Amino acid sequence: MSPGVTLKTVAQAVGVSPSTVSNAYNKPDQLSAALRERILATAQELGYAGPDASARALRSGKAGAVGVLFTDKLAYAFSDPYAVGFLAGLAEVAEEFTTSLLLMPLSSSDIQGGANAVQQAAIDAAAIFCVAGGHPALDTLRARGVPMVSTDRGDHPDLSWVAIDEVEAAAKLGKHLARLGHRDIVVLVDNAEAAGRRAVEMTLDEVGYTDCELRIRGLQKEMPDARIRLVSGGHNAFSSGLIGAEWVLDSQDRPTAIVGLSDVQALGAMEAMRTRGLVPGRDLTVAGFDDIPQAETAGLTTIRQPIKDKGRTVGRVLLDPAVQDRQILLPTELVVRASSGPAPRN
């Protein structure tokens, strides 16, 4: 912008009021096409780029942005198929309402730093995606009065969420495995460590993520007599599933089935089997959760949830005044493919 050129400068050059110039940018429907084109052409000639966005936000009290909070590195939003699908759906609705998305990864090693970033963020609302319920960033949003919609189901009537019934979804998979005769299961879960760093066995109390805990309980619900062990190879990623499954497959106490609490971890387990000459569904069952596009290609048995629709629905609850429901439960489906089969006989 040329120094000294303001909205008033353009108004004087065109011979209209400053409010008319403002309408050319902010309320074009209030002007004739010819007048708006004349204002914009004059502004371009004078080197005026338009009203200052930050000043406009201060006047209106709106930032025009939805914050997307998730507990992981920023690259996760662009590399994880589930995150990509969710964000694609959310972005569709945000675009419809001329709203931008601000991706806000919350570091697991700098909890207070994440809360401080949320305190300073210029956002009108927040989508809470894969964030632990006790994270202080959520308290910060509440204190600011920022509307939130979570992808985790909550019991309090004042909470807003778009979720699935994690327990019942996992119970569908548990029932399928029980019918196939599986009584020795390893569940691949994620933790806060770097992906693929090392494999560790965990207890349910150490899991820490609500959706993971509920999915484990769903498996237990339909498999009360099964031995279910929890193994983690790091945060949710293919390499975590790979190293976790390698540790399991190379042990003397091999299970009859491996369940990834996400498809990417289950796909990592299938790769670990492939390199050892093992066939999923014949030598050992592998199952996942989400039904990302790669799951069908790999023949992975999994629980399908409407990933992109979840993002769209979160966006509607946040931005569309016509949506009155604040707590929405989406459907799930067991999809059986070649990776699951009868438990091998010893």
Domain match, 97 and 70 both: yes
Least confident of 43-47, 49-53, 193-197: 49-53
Q: What percent of the chain lies above the pLDDT cut of 70? A: 94
Q: What is the pLDDT of residues 294-316, one digit of tens each?
A: 999 999 999 999 999 999 999 99
Domain match, 150 and 273 both: no
Q: Is 313 domain-assigned?
A: yes
| Model confidence at 113: pLDDT above 50 | yes
Mean pLDDT of 261-283: 97
| Model confidence at 64: pLDDT above 80 | yes
Q: Is 335 domain-assigned?
A: no
What is the rounded end-to-end Cα distance, in angstroms, of the chain?
A: 77
Higher per-residue confidence, 287 vs 44: 287
Domain match, 186 and 100 both: no
What value does the CA radius of gyration of the chain take, rounded to a whole number of Å? 25
| Model confidence at 343: pLDDT above 90 | yes
Is-contact 129 151, C-beta < 8 A?
yes
pLDDT of residue 176: 98
> In the beta sheet, which residues pair with residue 163?
329
Is-contact 162 151, C-beta < 8 A?
yes
Domain match, 195 and 296 both: yes
Is-contact 11 17, C-beta < 8 A?
yes
Domain match, 224 and 296 both: yes
Mean of pLDDT over the chain: 90
Domain match, 266 and 317 both: no
pLDDT of residue 54: 46
In this structure, what CATH number is given to the domain that contains residue 40?
1.10.260.40
Query: What confidence tier does 61 reach under pLDDT thresholds 50, 70, 90?
Result: low
pTM for this model (two decimals): 0.80
Q: What is the pLDDT of residues 159-204, one digit of tens each?
A: 999 999 999 999 999 999 999 999 999 999 988 788 888 999 999 9
Q: Is 207 domain-assigned?
A: yes
Domain match, 40 and 121 both: no
Give the chain's domain count.
3
Domain match, 99 and 193 both: no
Domain match, 88 and 154 both: yes
Tokens linked to 13: 């050059």
Higher per-residue confidence, 109 vs 55: 109
Q: What angle do CA 81, 340, 76 make, to 5 degrees?
A: 15
C-beta atoms surrounding 180 within 10 Å: 17
Higher per-residue confidence, 113 vs 227: 227
Mean pLDDT of 258-281: 97
Alpha carbons within 13 A on the beta-carbon side of 102: 16
Among residues 165, 112, 131, 84, which one has the least CA distance to residue 327?
165
Q: What is the pLDDT of residues 211-245, one digit of tens each?
A: 899 999 999 999 999 999 999 999 899 999 999 99
Q: Is 1 domain-assigned?
A: no
Domain match, 71 and 93 both: yes
CA distance 111 to 324: 33
Q: Which domain holds residue 300?
A: 166-304
Alpha carbons within 13 A on the beta-carbon side of 115: 14
Q: Is 212 domain-assigned?
A: yes
Domain match, 178 and 248 both: yes
Mean pLDDT of 321-332: 95
Place of tokens 């799930």: 332
In this structure, what CATH number is given to the domain that contains residue 247?
3.40.50.2300
CA distance 225 to 1: 71
Q: Is 57 domain-assigned?
A: no
Q: Is 345 domain-assigned?
A: no
Mean pLDDT of 61-67: 82
pLDDT of residue 192: 79
C-beta atoms surrounding 94 within 10 Å: 23
pLDDT of residue 120: 82
pLDDT of residue 51: 65
Q: Is 259 domain-assigned?
A: yes
Domain match, 324 and 299 both: no
